[in-house]
Structure 1
Amino acid sequence: MPRMPQTTMVATAPLVDTHGRVHRDLRISLTDRCSLRCTYCMPEQGNEWLARSSILSTEEIVRIARVAAAAGISTFRLTGGEPLLRPDIVEVVRALAPLETPDGPVQIAMTTNGIRLPDFLPDLVEAGLSRVNISLDTLRRDRFHDLTRRDRLDDVLAGVAAAAASGLRPLKLNAVAMRGVNDDELCDLVEFAMAHDAQLRFIEQMPLDIGHTWDRTTMVTRDEILATLSERWELTPVPGRGGAPAERWQIDDGPHTVGVIASVTAPFCGDCDRLRLTADGQLRNCLFSRSEYDLMPVLRGGAAVAAGEAVSIGVRPLDTGIDARIDDVLRSCIRGKLPGHAINDPAFLQPVRGMNAIGG
């Protein structure tokens, strides 16, 4: 592997957008490929994958992350597609883990379907992985097959067991709630999570499928989720959400909690502190954005910064050159961030990319 850049650099100004939101979280997609074919994400066949030559190298990822950390990004979440399909996943974690912000070390998290987790988890923990989220929408084999078009439920459950045994905490299980699909399993999923010392987080189904077939009527809303859970448990709101995407409730006075990510019916855009980096080097300031800021010309020899426009931020303690231009793209992306995603606006248009290509 090529020699990595130094893990620290001179601090720069925080990444603050025009609405006063300070950004501290960068979601890094390592690949658009996945071992499942979830119906709400991508079709079973006919997917057009990114060319391997367009995928960011580990060295390029670390260079971007190092500049972001100098500006205060303190959490890097590795996503996909399925990040464990990347052959050098352990090396990616090992290279990112030593990075530091002006306020201290970064944290490396990962969102995965869990299928390959038992094989990789010991090395990932040793390399510096801090947290893991595992996607699990159903506990029924027939439904899992229908939903993912693959018979891999046992592999996912083995991944959950491995994560529970690893000691990585908090351990989170993510479930997309869908009407007529898994809405009768909400309590079962919470009980499964509690048995594995994990927090179940329900996610409202969002318009992020490649085929643009999302239908609001199939989405189980935040209020419906809470009403169902309240029939079984007493739920007490947990204060101090901050920029976290999930609202949390304590279950029967604890110690367990359950979360709901209600991007559609209860948007949390006003506190959003996240940016996304696609596997092919595009920065996105919102999951639902239709605009991207291209880092590839900067990383691979071009002079363009974002959307063909070079941006200057004035005096700063960065050397001129690639790192300074990466910083320019980050700040241009931040400046272009809108107040919210406008899902509930009649004029809303889905992103061109599906979730697997954007990064979870």
Structure 2
Amino acid sequence: MSQNELSQKLIDRFGRQIEYVRISVTDRCDLRCTYCMPEGFKDFEEPTHWLSFNEIERLVRVLARMGVARVRLTGGEPLLRRNLPELVRRLNALPGIMDISLSTNGTQLTKYAIALKQAGVSRINVSLDSLRRERVTRIVGRDVLDKILAGLMAGKAAGFSPIKINMVAMRGVNDDEIDDMVAFCMEHAFILRLIETMPMGETGLNAEYLDLQPVKQRLQRQFGLVDGVLPGGGPARYLKTPDGGFNVGFITPISQHFCAACNRVRLSVDGTLYMCLGQEDKYEFRPLLRADVSDVEIERAFRDAIELKPERHEFLEMPHKIVRFMSATGG
């Protein structure tokens, strides 16, 4: 990499190159997961405050010129945003964007899987915390297990590869089901990702935290797992069976944080850029976009914003620090 190319990249104070942006396209969701959004929560952004597709495309175009190559669309539930495949097509056409993925709860996938694949989404992550109907209903607040499973099969039929299952593992809630989820993912060639709860907002603080390190060690012994690497640029650390037929990832912000290799930022639906889930520093881009500033000024703002990116989160030291909900930040 030449010095000129290096100077154009988006690099923070700690030498980490930012090449991955997670974009929330809505803060609305059709579920009420206990660790994400309170049951009675109604304080959604009004659509006039949401970034338009034109505004999102413009920000991603500028980011792509600074080396951002991966985009993940999130929510809320992103498939509640109307005409989402259109946005995917527009982002997929931008020079420099190499990978577009989607995080979803799966309830809408039967309707949109084919259109999303044709538009350019390459990979999907589907949230599924249990395979038991009553338990899913208790965790997400809706009787939707059948819809999620149907969505998964629709995604598989549409040709998404890989499909990752995101399971938030909670002590005394679903930790007795981890082996069942492993078997399910093995059967369908899905990748399992086990996730520790994070103390974000009242819901996160009240979630039953489970240290995944003992779980990792047990599965490693049980299946003879070895170190694995998967593309995607995310925070998971992967293990795989020796034949490569099954992969399991561990996202462990509490027991083994991944801050030293953090390469991502999050853009909320209202145009607020968050540099870290565990810090409150942010930069608001919507006022700049609607003041019709130049792309040069937008790029300068991104460079100013990345100076706010901390070396690491403080979930352990200050668990009550983050008062915003995960759904407001962008999955």
TM-score, length-scaled by structure 2: 0.93
Aligned partners of 1:143 and 1:244: how far apart in 2?
Answer: 28
Q: Which moved more, 1:220-229 or 1:293-302?
A: 220-229
- State the 1:131 CA deviation: 1.0
For residue 256 of structure 2, what is the aligned residue in structure 1?
A: 266
Provide the identity percentage: 41
For residue 165 of structure 1, what is the aligned residue in structure 2?
A: 157
- State the 1:191 CA deviation: 1.3
Say which of 99, 108, 119 aligns to 2:111. 119
Aligned partners of 2:230 and 2:28: how far apart in 1?
Answer: 35
For residue 89 of structure 2, what is the aligned residue in structure 1?
A: 94
Alignment of 1:351 with 2:327, yes or no, is no
If each structure's helix is expressed as a fraction of its own residues, which one has the higher value? 2
User: CA distance change for structure 1 residues 76 and 198 in 2, over 3 Å: closer, same or farther?
Assistant: same
Q: Which moved more, 1:250-259 or 1:233-242?
A: 233-242
Aligned partners of 1:328 and 1:73: how far apart in 2?
Answer: 15
Say which of 61, 69, 74 aligns to 1:74. 69
Aligned partners of 2:272 and 2:141: how far apart in 1?
Answer: 29
Aligned partners of 2:299 and 2:55: how far apart in 1?
Answer: 14
- Is the 8 Å Cα contact of residues 228 and 240 (structure 2) preserved in structure 1? yes
Alignment of 1:55 with 2:45, yes or no, is no
- Is the 8 Å Cα contact of residues 169 and 195 (structure 2) preserved in structure 1? yes
The runs of at least 4 aligned residues of structure 1 exceeding 6 Å deviation read none
- Listed as ranges, the matches of 1:243-254 within 5 Å are 244-254=234-244
User: Number of paired residues?
Assistant: 327
For residue 186 of structure 2, what is the aligned residue in structure 1?
A: 194
- State the 1:12 CA deviation: 7.4
For residue 138 of structure 1, what is the aligned residue in structure 2?
A: 130
What is the SS of the residue equivalent to 2:157?
A: helix
Aligned partners of 2:281 and 2:174: how far apart in 1?
Answer: 33
Aligned partners of 1:114 and 1:260: how far apart in 2?
Answer: 21
For residue 284 of structure 1, what is the aligned residue in structure 2?
A: 274
- Listed as ranges, the matches of 1:203-352 within 5 Å are 203-208=195-200, 210-212=201-203, 214-215=205-206, 218-230=208-220, 232-238=222-228, 244-301=234-291, 321-345=293-317, 347-352=318-323
- Is the 8 Å Cα contact of residues 44 and 149 (structure 1) preserved in structure 2? yes
- Is the 8 Å Cα contact of residues 242 and 271 (structure 1) preserved in structure 2? no
User: CA distance change for structure 1 residues 339 and 40 in 2, over 3 Å: closer, same or farther?
Assistant: same
Aligned partners of 1:227 and 1:273: how far apart in 2?
Answer: 27
- Is the 8 Å Cα contact of residues 199 and 320 (structure 2) preserved in structure 1? no
Aligned partners of 1:84 and 1:350: how far apart in 2?
Answer: 30
RMSD over aligned Cα atoms: 2.0
Counterpart amino acid of 1:234? G
- State the 1:190 CA deviation: 1.3
- State the 1:224 CA deviation: 2.5
Alignment of 1:150 with 2:142, yes or no, is yes
Counterpart amino acid of 2:67? G
- State the 1:60 CA deviation: 0.4
- Is the 8 Å Cα contact of residues 276 and 359 (structure 1) preserved in structure 2? yes
Counterpart amino acid of 1:39? T
Say which of 14, 19, 40 aligns to 1:19. 14
- State the 1:243 CA deviation: 5.2
- Is the 8 Å Cα contact of residues 36 and 325 (structure 2) preserved in structure 1? yes
User: CA distance change for structure 1 residues 35 and 326 in 2, over 3 Å: closer, same or farther?
Assistant: same
Q: Which runs of 5+ in 2 are unaligned?
A: none
Q: Which runs of 5+ in 1 are unaligned?
A: 1-9, 303-320
User: CA distance change for structure 1 residues 143 and 228 in 2, over 3 Å: closer, same or farther?
Assistant: farther
Q: Which moved more, 1:249-258 or 1:280-289?
A: 249-258
- State the 1:343 CA deviation: 1.4
Aligned partners of 2:64 and 2:209: how far apart in 1?
Answer: 36
What is the SS of the residue equivalent to 2:175?
A: coil
